[in-house]
Chains A and B, each alone.
Chain A
Amino acid sequence: MRWAIALHGGAGDIPHSLPPDRRLPREAGLRHCLDVGIAALKAHKHPLDVVELVVRELENYPHFNAGKGSVLTSSGTVEMEASIMDGKSKKCGAVSGLSTVVNAVSLARLVMEKTPHIYLGFHGAEAFAREQGVETADPSYFITPENIERLKQAQDANRVQIDYTQPVQKEEKDAAATIPNGDSQIGTVGCVAVDSEGNLASATSTGGLVNKMAGRIGDSPIIGAGTYANHLCAVSATGKGEAMIRGTVARDVAAVMEFKGLSLKEAAAYVIDQVPPGNAGLVAVSSTGEIATVFNTTGMFRACASEDGYSEVAIWDSPLK
Chain B
Amino acid sequence: MGAWAIAVHGGAGVDPNLPKERQEEAKRLLTRCLDIGISALRSNLSAIDVVELVVRELETDPLFNSGRGSALTENGKVEMEASIMDGPKRRCGAVSGLTTVKNPVSLARLVMEKSPHSYLAFSGAEEFAKKQGVEMVDNEYFITEDNVGMLKLAKEANSILFDYRIPAVGTCGASAAMDSPLQMNGLPISVYAPETVGCVVVDKQGRCAAATSTGGLMNKMSGRIGDSPLIGSGTYASELCGVSCTGEGEAIIRSTLAREVSAVMEYKRLKLHEAVDYVIKNKLDEGKAGLIAVSKDGEVACGFNTTGMFRGCATEDGFMEVGVW
Contacts and interface: CB of A to CB of B under 8 A. Distances in A.
Interface stretch (A21-29, A166-174, A211-219, A299-307): A211-219
Interface of B: 85, 90-92, 94, 96-97, 115-128, 160, 183-184, 217, 220-226, 230-233, 236, 249-250, 253-256, 259-260, 263-264, 267-268, 285
Enumerate the 9 nearest inter-chain pairs by beta-carbon distance, A residue then B residue, closest first: A124-B223, A215-B124, A259-B267, A214-B124, A119-B225, A224-B256, A224-B232, A122-B122, A217-B119
B142 to A, nearest CB: 18
A139 interface: no
A182 to B, nearest CB: 27
Interface of A: 90-92, 94, 96-97, 115-125, 127-128, 160, 212-218, 222-225, 228, 241-242, 245-248, 251-252, 255-256, 259-260
Contacts of B263: 248, 251-252, 255, 259
Nearest to A258: B267
A251 B259 contact: yes
Contact of B254 (A91, A115, A252): A91
A127 B116 contact: no
B304 to A, nearest CB: 20
Nearest to A122: B122
B268 A259 contact: yes
A214 B118 CA distance: 13
Contacts of B217: 117
Choose among B97, B249, B267 the residue with the greatest number of A CB atoms under 10 Å from its CB.
Answer: B267
A248 B222 contact: no
A246 B118 contact: yes
A216 B117 contact: yes
A85 B222 CA distance: 22
A78 B211 CA distance: 30
Contact of A97 (B121, B226, B230, B250): B121
A256 B267 contact: yes
A121 B121 contact: yes
Contacts of B126: 215
B221 A216 contact: no
A246 B229 CA distance: 13
5 contacts: A91-B254, A117-B221, A122-B223, A228-B256, A255-B260
Nearest to A246: B90
Nearest to A116: B183
A166 to B, nearest CB: 18
